[in-house]
Structure 1
Amino acid sequence: MSVVEPERTSLNPKADHLCVLVHGLWGTPSHLDYLAKSLREKHAEDKLNILVAKSNSGTYTYDGIETGGERVTQEVEELLEQLIQAGTPIAKLSIVGYSLGGLIARYAIGLLYSKGWFEKIKPINFTTFATPHLGVRTPLRGYHSQLWNAFGARTLSVSGRQLFTIDTFRDTNRPILSVLADPSSIFIRALSEFKTRNLYANIINDRSAPYYTTAIASTDPFVDLDAVDIRPLKSHSPTILDPDNPVSPKSTKEPLPPFYTRLSSDGQSLLTRIPLYTALIALIPVATVAWTINSGIQSFRSNKRIQLHEQGKGLDGYRIPLLMNGNSARSAVGGAFRRVNSAHGQDYLPESQDDDSDEGAGEDLPKLELKRTSSRKADFPTLALSDEQFEMIRSLDKVGFKKYLVHIKNHRHTHAAIIVRMQKPGFDEGKVVVRHWLDEAFEL
Structure 2
Amino acid sequence: MDTGITKSTSADASKAQHLCVLVHGLWGNPHHLDYVRKSLEERHGEDELVVYSAKRNVGSLTYDGIEIGAERVAKEIEDVMDRLRQEGHTINKFSIVGYSLGGLVARYVVGLLFHAGFFDKVTPINFTTFVTPHLGVRTPLLGYHNNLWNVLGARTLSTSGRQLFTIDDFRNTGRPLLSVLADPDSIFIHGLRLFRHRSLYTNVVNDRSAVYYTTGISAFDPYTDLEAVNLRYLKGYESVILDPDMPVERAPPKQDLPTFYDRVRGGSRTFVRRAPIVIALSLLIPVAITVFMINSGWQTFRSRRRIQLHESDSDGSFGGYRIPYLVREMRVGLEDAFETVNSSRQQEYLPEGSEELAIAPPSPKLTRSDTKDSVLSEKSEATTRADFPTLALTTDQFSMIKALDSVGWRKYPVHIQKSTHSHAAIIVRSARAAFEEGKTVVKHWLTEEFEV
Q: TM-score, normalised by structure 1?
A: 0.87
Query: Could you tell me which residue of structure 2 aligns to residue 375 of structure 1?
Result: 382
Q: C-alpha distance in 1, partners of 2:380/2:169?
A: 27
Give per-residue Cα distances to partners, 1:163-221, cap 9 Å, x unaligned. 11111100211110111000000000011010000000000010100010000000100
Residue 146 of structure 2 is matched in structure 1 by 145
Residue identity (%) = 56
Q: Which amino acid aligns with 1:124?
A: I
Aligned residue for 1:116? Answer: 117
Unaligned runs of 5+ in 2: 340-347, 364-378
- Matched residue, 2:444: 436
Equivalent residue number for residue 155 of structure 2: 154
Residue 228 of structure 1 contacts residue 249 of structure 1 at CA under 8 Å; is this kept in 2? yes
Structure 1: distance between partners of 2:151 and 2:206: 23
- RMSD, aligned α-carbons: 2.5
* Inter-partner Cα distance in structure 1 for 2:169 and 2:265: 48
Change (3 A) 1:348 1:67: closer
**Shift of residue 256 of structure 1?**
6.3
State the match for 2:184 in structure 1.
183
What SS does the corresponding residue of 1:112 show, helix, strand or coil?
A: helix
Q: How far does residue 330 in structure 1 lie from its aligned partner after superposition? A: 2.8
CA distance in 2, matches of 1:231, 1:270: 33
The letter for the 1-side match of 2:106 is A
Which of 420, 427, 439 is residue 435 of structure 2 equivalent to?
427
The question of whether the paired residues in 2 share the 8 Å contact of 1:135 and 1:177 is answered with: yes
Distance change in 2, residues 1:38/1:386 (3 Å): same
Match of 2:323 among 316, 320, 323: 320
**1:386 aligned residue (389, 394, 397):** 394
Instruction: Name the residue aligned to 1:364.
Output: none
Q: 1:240-251 maps to which residues of 2 (within 5 A)? A: 240-251=241-252
Displacement of 1:146 after TM fit? Answer: 1.2
**Matching residue's letter, 1:220:** D
Change (3 A) 1:360 1:156: closer
- Corresponding residue of 1:40: 41
- Pair 1:404-2:376 in alignment: no
Distance 1:45 1:401 in 2: 28
Q: CA deviation at 1:286?
A: 1.9
Q: Could you tell me whether the CA contact under 8 Å between 1:80 and 1:89 is conserved in 2?
A: no
> How far off its partner does 1:395 sit?
0.5
TM-score by length of 2: 0.86
Quick one: distance in 1 between partners of 2:361 and 2:266? 40
**What 5-or-longer segments of structure 1 have no aligned partner?**
332-346, 362-371
Matched-pair contact (CA < 8 Å) for 1:358–1:373: no
2:193 is paired with a residue whose SS is: helix
1:32-111 counterparts in 2 under 5 A?
Answer: 32-111=33-112
2:314 partner letter: G
Q: Report whether the alignment pairs 1:221 with 2:228.
A: no
What is the Cα deviation at residue 292 of structure 1?
1.3
Quickly say closer, same or farther: Cα 1:270–1:193, change in 2 above 3 A.
farther
Distance in 2 (CA, whole Å) between partners of 1:73 and 1:261 is: 58
Cα deviation code 1:224-251 (max 9, x no counterpart): 0000010011211110001111001113
Aligned-residue offset at 1:222: 0.4
Distance 1:262 1:120, change over 3 A: farther
Separation of aligned partners in 1, 2:450 and 2:99: 15
The aligned residue for residue 366 of structure 1 is none
The structure richer in helix per residue is 2
User: What displacement does 1:84 show?
Assistant: 3.2
Tell me, yes or no, if the aligned pair for 2:63 and 2:158 is still in contact at 8 Å: yes
Q: Does 1:359 align with 2:361?
A: yes
Question: Aligned pair in 2 of structure 1 residues 255, 10: CA closer, same or farther (>3 Å)?
Answer: farther
Paired residue total: 412
C-alpha distance in 1 between matches for 2:26 and 2:409: 23
Q: Within 2, Cα distance between the matches of 1:359 and 1:404?
A: 20
Residue 419 of structure 2 aligns with an amino acid whose one-letter code is H
Question: Aligned to 2:133, what secondary structure does the other structure show?
Answer: coil
Q: Write the distance in 2 (CA, Å) between the matches of 1:61 and 1:293.
A: 18
Name the stretch that deviates more: 27-36 or 8-17: 8-17
Amino acid at match of 1:359: P
The answer to which of 271-280 and 147-156 deviates more is: 271-280
1:14 aligns with 2:12: no
Which amino acid letter does the alignment assign opposite residue 392 of structure 1? M
The letter for the 1-side match of 2:283 is: A
Q: Could you tell me how far 1:3 is from its partner in structure 2?
A: 8.5
Aligned to 1:415: 423
Q: CA deviation at 1:400?
A: 1.1
Match of 1:28 in 2: 29
